[in-house]
Structure 1
C-alpha cells in the first residue's frame, strides 16, 4: 500500500535523509496561537514615584502605562536614574501595565507600596525571572515609548516566581508510517514534503534530538514502521496551524487573498507558513512593477500577507516584520530587485485601520499606516498610493 510521506528527517551534519514518515504525533499540539497572557499583580515596595507614575496615583494622569521597566540598581550608591550594563542584566519588562492601587509603606519610611496589574514579557528577562536579583533596589521607567524615569523602589513583590513555559514543549514524538526504520539516537532537522516532492526545511526550532524508545509495524502499511522517540521538538506547531500546512502540502494557495477571511492570529500563522514554504528564486528584473491589493489590509499581519502575494504570487512571502521588510526591500533576495515600484491599491483601508495605539499582539506601540509608508520609501521602494 502506497502512503504519502509528508515529513522527512534530515541528518544535521550531512543533510542526508534519515527517514520519511506519513505523520508525526506530537508535532501539532492542542493549543492556539497566540496564547492569552496571564495577568498578574505586582507590588512596588517602598516606592518613591515620580512623573507619570506619580500622576497615575494622584489622578492627574492615566492609570494605564503600556510597558513598564523594572531595572535592578547594581549598587547602593547608584546615582539617580543612571543605568549601566550590569543593571540591564537584571531588567524586567512588564506589559499592558495599569496602576490599580497604592498605600503607605509598612516600613515607616513615608514611601508608598504601589499595586500594578499586567504581565511579564517572557523572553530576555533576568535569566528567566524566577529569583529576585541581588540588587540594592530598582529603577522604574515608563517604556511605552519615551523611556521616562518614573521613580525608584526598594523591593518588589509578585514579580519573581516560576511560571509555566510560554510555549510549553510538546510530548515526545511518535513518527507514524516511517520508511526506513530507525534505531539508536537521532539528530536531525525536520522538513515538510509537498505532494510535488518539494522539500522545505523547518529550521533550528524544529530539530529532532532524541533516542528511539521502540518501534512497531505501522497500521498505515505493512512495510512501514511507527517509531516512538523519547523527546519532543523544541517548539511544536499549534493546533490551528494544521489546516494551513495541509494546504501548503497540497500545493499552496492557488488564488490571492485566501488569507483574507482569517483573524489576525491566523494571518500571523499564514505568514509563518509562507516563510517556511518559501521557494528561493532570483529576484525579478529591475523595473518590474508590483500591484498590492489593499482591500483586506486591516492589521499589521495582513499587510505582510498582501505584500508577499504582490511580490511573489499567492502564498508568497516578503517578510513578516520590519526587519525582514528591510532585508527584502533594501537588499534583495526576497523576489524583487531593490528600488522596485509598488502600487498600493485601496490604501485607504489600511490608513483607516492601522492607526496609533497599543498593539496587544506585539505588546508595544502599534505600527501605523504612516510607519509602513515611511519604511517602504526609506528602503527605496517607489510607492504609489491609490
Structure 2
C-alpha cells in the first residue's frame, strides 16, 4: 500500500500521517493528520493472592519454600501451564510473583501449599472448560514443579481500563460517514502510520467504538473522532520518538537506533520488521560486516545484524526464534556467507550475563555465534 499525500497536504496545509482502514489497508475509511492518546504504557495488572495447593516444588520454588516462615521470596515472571487429562490448554502469566507463605498440604503432608502474590494475566485464548483441568505446572525458564489446584485463579476480574484515543483532522470516506451515522459497534479496522512520503510504516488493529465526533480543531470540514478504547496493543510512550525517526523515511545512516534504550531498540526492530522488502529473493555467499560499537543489549545486537545484511533500518530477527527463522530463509540472506564482526568484545562483555532459553545455555552472544557457525557461516570476530 502506497499513499500519495502531496495533494492532500497542499490542500489542507498539514501532512497526512495516518490512515483509518480495513482489509489490510486496502479499504481506506479516513485520512487523518494526527492522533492523541495513541501511545500509552501498559497498566500493570493489580496484585492478587493465589494459593497453590498440593505442590511438589522444584528449582527456585523449592528454594523459596525452604526459607523461614515469614520470609518473602521473589520469583519474578512465571508462566502457569494448565493441563486437562491429555495436554496443556491454558497459559497464565504471573507478573513479579512473590512467595509470601508456605505450609504443609492438607491433602498430603509430603506436599506443600504455597501462597503467592502476583499480577495475573489471563490466557490470551481465554479460559478452557473447568471440568477438564487435571494438572498445574509453574515455569520460569525451567519447571518449578506441579500443583493439584490453585485457589483464587478462576475468579472474575475487572477488564483493562479503557484507553480513549482521538483521531485529529480526519477526512472521512462515505464508508466511515455511514458508520458514524449508524454506528457499527466494534467494527474491525486498522490504524496505519505513514512516513512523510505516504509509505506505510506500521499499523495497529482496533475496534471502531466511536465515543464522540466533532468539527476538527484544524478547521475546515475535517472531523476529530474519539474512539473509546483506542487501538489494540498500543505502542508504549518510548515508541513515539522511534516512529518520528522513521517518519522521515527509511533510515539512510547506520546506527540511528543506537540512541534509544533497549526497549526503544525493540520498538525500532518492530518497525524495521514491517518495512522489510516483500518478496526479496534469498542470496548466499559474500562477506558482511557488523558494526558492533553499540551492541550492548539483545535488541542492539539484532539491530546491528539487520543493518549488516540490509543496510540502515535493515531487519534480521529481533530475538532468538525470529533470528533462526531468518537463517532458514525468507529474510534475504542465507548461509553460507562470511560475517566479520567488528568490536565483538562489546557484545561479548555486555551480554555475558544474558542467557535465553537456548540450546546450549551459553551467553546470548556466544549462542548467536555458535548458531551462525553451525549453519555454515564463517564468523570473524575482531
Q: 1:37 and 1:180, CA in 2 relative to 1: closer, same or farther beyond 3 A?
A: closer
TM-score by length of 2: 0.75
Q: Which secondary structure state, in structure 2, belongs to the residue aligned with residue 184 of structure 1?
A: helix
For 1:346, the equivalent position in structure 2 comes to 343
For 2:369, the equivalent position in structure 1 comes to 373
TM-score by length of 1: 0.74
Could you list the per-position Cα deviations for residues 69-121 of structure 1 after superposition, in whole angstroms to 9, with x for gaps in the alignment? 6555757xxxxxxxx31xx2255454665544323456796754323355545
Match of 2:167 among 154, 174, 182: 174
Map 1:217-236; keep pairs closer than 5 Å.
217-229=215-227, 232-236=230-234
User: Is 2:30–2:171's contact at 8 Å kept on the other side of the alignment?
Assistant: yes
Map 1:37-186; keep pairs closer than 5 Å.
40-45=48-53, 47=54, 49=56, 51-52=58-59, 53-54=61-62, 56-58=64-66, 70=80, 74=84, 84-85=86-87, 88-90=88-90, 92=92, 94=94, 97=97, 99-105=99-105, 112-120=112-120, 122-124=122-124, 127-128=126-127, 133-134=130-131, 138-141=135-138, 143-145=140-142, 147=143, 150=145, 152-153=147-148, 155-163=149-157, 170-171=163-164, 173-178=166-171, 182-185=176-179
**RMSD over aligned Cα, in angstroms?**
3.9
User: Is 2:201–2:246's contact at 8 Å kept on the other side of the alignment?
Assistant: no
For 1:384, the equivalent position in structure 2 comes to 380
User: Is 1:290–1:310's contact at 8 Å kept on the other side of the alignment?
Assistant: yes
Q: 1:339 and 1:118, CA in 2 relative to 1: closer, same or farther beyond 3 A?
A: farther
Map 1:296-375; keep pairs closer than 5 Å.
296-332=294-330, 334-356=331-353, 368-375=364-371
User: Is 2:283–2:332's contact at 8 Å kept on the other side of the alignment?
Assistant: no
Q: CA deviation at 1:292?
A: 0.9
Q: 1:121 and 1:384, CA in 2 relative to 1: closer, same or farther beyond 3 A?
A: farther
Q: Distance in 1 between matches of 2:326 and 2:81?
A: 36
Q: Which moved more, 1:8-17 or 1:268-277?
A: 8-17
Could you list the per-position Cα deviations for residues 273-317 of structure 1 after superposition, in whole angstroms to 9, with x for gaps in the alignment? 222334447358543322111122121111111112222222222
For 1:362, the equivalent position in structure 2 comes to none
Q: CA deviation at 1:25?
A: 3.0
For 2:184, the equivalent position in structure 1 comes to none
Q: In the alignment, is residue 10 of structure 1 matched against residue 3 of structure 2?
A: no
For 1:79, the equivalent position in structure 2 comes to none
Q: CA deviation at 1:21?
A: 1.1
Could you list the per-position Cα deviations for residues 341-368 of structure 1 after superposition, in whole angstroms to 9, with x for gaps in the alignment? 2211111121112235577xxxxx8961
Q: Which secondary structure state, in structure 1, belongs to the residue aligned with residue 325 of structure 2?
A: helix
Map 1:276-295; keep pairs closer than 5 Å.
276-280=274-278, 282-283=280-281, 286-295=284-293
Q: Distance in 1 between matches of 2:39 and 2:343?
A: 37
Q: Distance in 1 between matches of 2:79 and 2:216?
A: 53
| Structure 1 unmatched runs, 5+ | 76-83, 360-364
| Structure 2 unmatched runs, 5+ | 1-11, 180-186
Q: CA deviation at 1:235?
A: 2.5
Q: Distance in 2 between matches of 1:97 and 1:211?
A: 35
Aligned length: 355
User: Is 2:55–2:114's contact at 8 Å kept on the other side of the alignment?
Assistant: no
Q: 1:380 and 1:331, CA in 2 relative to 1: closer, same or farther beyond 3 A?
A: farther
